[in-house]
A and B are shown apart, each in its own frame.
Chain A
Amino acid sequence: MIRRPGCSSLHPDGYRRHVADPSTETPSEPAPGDSAALNTELGLDEFGESPFPGARRPDRNYDLQANGLRIAVHEWGDADAPPLMMMHGGFDFARTFDVFAPKLAEAGWRVVSWDQRGHGNSEHAALYSWDGDVRDALAVFDHVAGGRPIPVVGHSKGGALMTQLADAQPHRFSSLVNMDGIPYKRNIPDIAEHDRTTMLAKDLAGWLDHRRRTSTASRKPGTLDELASRRGRMNPRLPHEWLRRLASTGGFRSDDGWRWRIDPALRFGGFGPWRPEWMLVRLPGLPMPFLGILGAQMEEMGWGTPPHKVAPYMPLDGRCEVLDDVGHFVHIEQPDVVSRLVLDFIGDPT
């Protein structure tokens, strides 16, 4: 692990602080907005980011070398406050917490999030896997809190990954909040076996064709609004202004337009031996307090988990809240409701 300027040593309480002034930090990559005039023309703020009501930049940004891979970490709140870990979902990045994280920080928590490998400002890796993501997460946990138990919040894939880590290393968790990240087996009825074989054949061929292009692939360029609109096709419930902020914080400006930073080698969907229900069976054994928050409205990026299917798997000290008219991004659609739920659940930071 390499310590960066502004990173203090481990304190007697076991938590490592980062006290750098964000205005003096060197960003992981050049900020997209390097021209004040261009920023104004595009409606961006002085940081080259599209504004959104309630959204706030992290108070601190730094990199960790996690087993040879550069992982970008972002923090909101007082550097001396007790840490709370927050993990984003697949094809997202830590800045998707720009509205939600400040609400927990204002309640006295130091919210620590990081970009998964290949996402946001973190390094594009040669290999991606569930194990790799959990290993990167552990490097951040070790850096921030050593082996001390802290509250953890995860959204979507981040919730599922944190559920796996909680099962493997429960001593690191004082509590766990899983926001719409409880996988569930989705049966596709009335499909004959030969049709399933055809579907798998197409998935495999498509994925292998994609892999053949990865060494030269790049994300499709566009205007900021075009990137926001493209993302909107997968997130139809989220307002364009929010998606525009996502594009400005998760994208970069190149000569021929804006592009998402996410590694073009990553691809939606997939196949493999893993079954969603294998995550579900880990839930009942979790020993720490557990809160599941499910959005009842089905969305393309969601797991489509019916609440009544999850209820039998609740841990002894767990419960599940269902938000009726809310989609997969519960913390973005209802940041006040969800932050209150989380704060009531994890308790006072002192």
Chain B
Amino acid sequence: MSGEIVMLRHNRIDLALHMLRAHPIDPDRPSRPLLLLHGLGDRSPDAVPTWVADWPGPIAALDFTGHGASTCPSSGGYTPELLMADVDHALAHLTGGDPDTSITVLGRGLGAYIALQIAGARASQIHGAILTDGPGLAGGPTGPTSQAVFSLPTNGTTPDPYALVELGRDLRPGDYAVSFVNLANAGAPVASPITVASSFHPKWLAAVVDSPGVVEATLADALASYA
């Protein structure tokens, strides 16, 4: 691990926030932090990934509940909204609790869906959300289905099997996803607060791409535009 791990308390969960790069590359040029959100069943990288190495500011990466070095709870109960609240704790830490300070988020797979949610929910503090490919990008159905009720063998290690199943089948209606786009457009400090940099567009993401204010770009261009 190249950087310090800060543990953040979210209810009964200890979240691991990996400070991959604690300070801006150029100490004379203050730059906002970039927060990386991993995909379903994944964990934060150990070092600054090459694909974000040019980001000028600090870089942090969050292990979601039940993933990586964060707490694995008993008996599941995962929702994307819960993970959004995980990210909100990281946001509070990275901004020092200052509501006038902002960060940029980059989410892969499931993390892309969560990045979209936090970009809408804390619009004034998210200076751009980049949504890109990764595990768990598709999510579950867009409407009601027959549902299996299940219990799973667990041993307290991550990734939590309940997270893998529950966050792999969560409902993602397109209009629900678009409601976060609308919130981001209404309150974000940038003109185009959502950038989609993925090859795969599941239904919820296709609805996002079709929304006003959302742009498509390569990952490098998206990072450059928000830096």
Interface residues of A, Cβ cutoff 8 Å to B: 66-69, 117, 124-129, 131-132, 134-136, 138-139, 164-165, 167-169, 193-194, 197, 200-201, 204-205, 207-208, 211-212, 214-215, 265, 271-274, 278, 281-282
Asked whether A132 and B75 contact (CB < 8 A) given A126-B11, A208-B121, the answer is: yes
3 A-B pairs closest in CB distance: A127-B77, A132-B77, A68-B74
Whether A211 lies near B88 (C-beta < 8 A) is: yes
| CB of A330, distance to nearest CB on chain B (Å) | 26
| CB of B224, distance to nearest CB on chain A (Å) | 29
Assembled-state Cα–Cα distance A259/B89 (Å):
27
Q: Which of B22-30, B55-63, B139-147 contacts A (4 or more CB under 8 A)?
A: B139-147
Whether B151 lies near A214 (C-beta < 8 A) is: no
What are 20 pairs between A and B in contact, CB < 8 Å? A67-B76, A67-B152, A69-B74, A69-B75, A127-B77, A131-B147, A132-B75, A134-B149, A168-B149, A169-B149, A197-B182, A200-B183, A204-B121, A208-B121, A211-B85, A212-B89, A212-B92, A215-B12, A272-B79, A272-B176
Asked whether A215 and B10 contact (CB < 8 A) given A129-B79, A167-B146, the answer is: yes
| CB of A25, distance to nearest CB on chain B (Å) | 24
| CB of B119, distance to nearest CB on chain A (Å) | 11
Residue in B closest to A139 when the chains form the complex, CB atoms? B151
B3 within 8 A of A: no
Name the A residues within 8 Å of B1 (CB-CB): none
Whether B13 lies near A129 (C-beta < 8 A) is: no
Assembled-state Cα–Cα distance A68/B78 (Å):
15
Whether B179 lies near A215 (C-beta < 8 A) is: no
Assembled-state Cα–Cα distance A207/B92 (Å):
14
Q: What does the 1/0 interface line of B147-167 toward A look like (CB < 8 Å)?
A: 111111010000000000010
Name the A residues within 8 Å of B148 (CB-CB): 168
B132 within 8 A of A: no
Whether B77 lies near A129 (C-beta < 8 A) is: yes
Name the B residues within 8 Å of A168 (CB-CB): 146-149
Whether A136 lies near B120 (C-beta < 8 A) is: no
Whether B154 lies near A273 (C-beta < 8 A) is: no
Name the B residues within 8 Å of A282 (CB-CB): 144
Whether A197 lies near B78 (C-beta < 8 A) is: no
Residues of B within 8 Å of A, CB-based: how many? 46
Whether B120 lies near A204 (C-beta < 8 A) is: yes
Whether A273 lies near B176 (C-beta < 8 A) is: yes
Whether B143 lies near A272 (C-beta < 8 A) is: no
| CB of B172, distance to nearest CB on chain A (Å) | 6
B residues 1-24 in Cβ contact with A at 8 Å = 9-13
B203 within 8 A of A: no
Whether B75 lies near A125 (C-beta < 8 A) is: yes
Whether A197 lies near B186 (C-beta < 8 A) is: yes
- Which of A124, A135, A193, A281 is within 8 Å of B12, CB to CB? A124
Residue in B closest to A169 when the chains form the complex, CB atoms? B149
| CB of A140, distance to nearest CB on chain B (Å) | 12
- Which of B75, B166, B176 is within 8 Å of A136, CB to CB? B75
B residues 33-84 in Cβ contact with A at 8 Å = 65, 71, 73-79, 81-82, 84
Name the A residues within 8 Å of B77 (CB-CB): 117, 125-129, 131-132
Whether A215 lies near B74 (C-beta < 8 A) is: no
Whether A281 lies near B183 (C-beta < 8 A) is: no
Assembled-state Cα–Cα distance A337/B148 (Å):
35
B122 within 8 A of A: yes
Whether B75 lies near A197 (C-beta < 8 A) is: no
| CB of A203, distance to nearest CB on chain B (Å) | 9
B209 within 8 A of A: no
Name the B residues within 8 Å of A205 (CB-CB): 121-122
Residue in B closest to A210 when the chains form the complex, CB atoms? B85
Assembled-state Cα–Cα distance A66/B152 (Å):
11
Name the B residues within 8 Å of A126 (CB-CB): 11-13, 65, 71, 73-74, 77
Whether B11 lies near A215 (C-beta < 8 A) is: yes
| CB of B64, distance to nearest CB on chain A (Å) | 12
Name the B residues within 8 Å of A281 (CB-CB): 144
Name the A residues within 8 Å of B187 (CB-CB): 201
Name the A residues within 8 Å of B73 (CB-CB): 125-127
Residue in B closest to A136 when the chains form the complex, CB atoms? B75
B194 within 8 A of A: no
| CB of B101, distance to nearest CB on chain A (Å) | 16
Whether A214 lies near B10 (C-beta < 8 A) is: yes
Whether B149 lies near A215 (C-beta < 8 A) is: no
| CB of B176, distance to nearest CB on chain A (Å) | 4
Output the residue of A124, A135, A138, A193 with the most chain B CB within 10 A.
A135
